[in-house]
């Protein structure tokens, strides 16, 4: 679908922790997008127009809404503005934009994220399952603490109902000292790749993590044609 400009109203919100939220905005009647795409929001500060991109967290089949999952950044005007928005308030958007979408539905897939980089993957995973995707999907996501584990119950349900879906939560500072996946996604990646895996890798998060994962994949012989990524900074 060609990108369009529109005014969207905040219709719902879910607070994950003290600095992270999922916001649900209204979508135009004929708004369509591919899982993994994003919207560009416009903010105005002292007469200046500030543009920021946010991955769409909701799935394409969830009509009538555009959800975004984000973290409030210290001194970040846009993220703080979003965090303080009230239901009923409006914002200018443009979308859908981007090409961070699954291109080959015949392959197994591994998704690697850190923090809010999980955003596009929730949309992609739900969309693939909705479409009857039967290939293997492995999600490896990294967070700091348990309080940041968004959609944990939903992922457990997806795993229970779909034998082709697996996921792992890596925590760098878990509350439990004996948590067995303590560290960063870079440290655990290779151990979660099946020995016969010949599928594609999708990576999303901060640039250092993305660069580290891409480098590690190349070191173990994964070609660039099988690596897709999106950086958040």
Q: Distance between CA atoms of 76 and 93, rounded to whole angstroms?
A: 18
Residue 70 predicted with pLDDT over 90? yes
What is the maximum span of the chain, computed from C-alpha positions, in angstroms?
Answer: 56
Average pLDDT for residues 128-137, to the nearest whole number? 96
Residue 69 banded pLDDT, cuts 50, 70, 90: very high
CATH 2.40.30.10 fits 4-97, yes or no: yes
> pLDDT averaged over the chain?
96
227-231/200-205 β-pairing = parallel
Residue 233 predicted with pLDDT over 80? no
Least confident of 64-73, 130-139, 174-183: 174-183
Residue 1 predicted with pLDDT over 80? no
Residue 83 banded pLDDT, cuts 50, 70, 90: very high
pLDDT reported for residue 59: 98
Q: Distance between CA atoms of 162 and 134, rounded to whole angstroms?
A: 9
Q: Distance between CA atoms of 101 and 114, rounded to whole angstroms?
A: 18
pLDDT reported for residue 15: 95
Domains 4-97 and 109-231 in one fold? no
Average pLDDT for residues 76-80, to the nearest whole number? 95
* DSSP string of 57-113, one letter each residue: -S-TTSTTEEEEEEEPPTT-HHHHHHHT--TT-EEEEEEEE---S---TTS-EEEEE
Its pTM stands at 0.96
Please give the CATH topology (third level) of the domain spanning 109-231.
Answer: Rossmann fold (3.40.50)
Domain residue spans of the chain:
4-97, 109-231
pLDDT reported for residue 86: 97
pLDDT per residue as tens digits for the range 21-55: 999 999 999 899 999 999 999 999 999 999 999 99
Residue 19 phi/psi, 5° resolution?
-135, 15
* CB 102 within 8 Å of CB 14: no
pLDDT per residue as tens digits for the range 150-208: 999 999 999 999 999 999 999 999 998 889 999 999 999 999 999 989 999 999 999 99
């Amino acid at each position: 679908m060609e990108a369009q400009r529109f005014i969207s109203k905040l219709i719902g919100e879910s607070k994950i922790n003290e600095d992270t939220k999922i916001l649900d905005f209204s979508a135009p009647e004929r708004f369509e997008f591919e899982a993994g795409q994003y919207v560009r929001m416009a903010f105005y500060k002292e007469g200046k127009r500030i543009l920021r991109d946010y991955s769409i967290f909701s799935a394409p089949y969830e009509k009538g809404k555009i959800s975004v999952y984000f973290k409030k950044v210290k001194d970040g005007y846009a993220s703080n503005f979003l965090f303080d928005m009230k239901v009923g308030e409006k914002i200018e958007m443009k979308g859908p934009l981007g090409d961070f979408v699954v291109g080959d539905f015949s392959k197994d897939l591994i998704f690697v994220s850190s923090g809010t980089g999980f955003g596009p993957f929730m949309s992609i995973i739900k969309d693939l399952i909705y479409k009857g995707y039967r290939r293997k999907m492995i999600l490896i996501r990294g967070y700091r603490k348990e309080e940041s584990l968004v959609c944990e119950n939903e992922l457990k349900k997806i795993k229970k109902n779909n034998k082709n879906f697996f996921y792992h939560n890596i925590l760098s500072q878990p509350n439990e000292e004996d948590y067995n996946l303590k560290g960063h996604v870079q440290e655990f990646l290779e151990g979660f790749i099946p020995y016969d895996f010949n599928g594609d890798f999708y990576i999303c998060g901060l640039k250092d993590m993305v660069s580290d994962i891409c480098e590690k994949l190349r070191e173990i012989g994964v070609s660039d044609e099988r690596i897709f990524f999106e950086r958040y900074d």
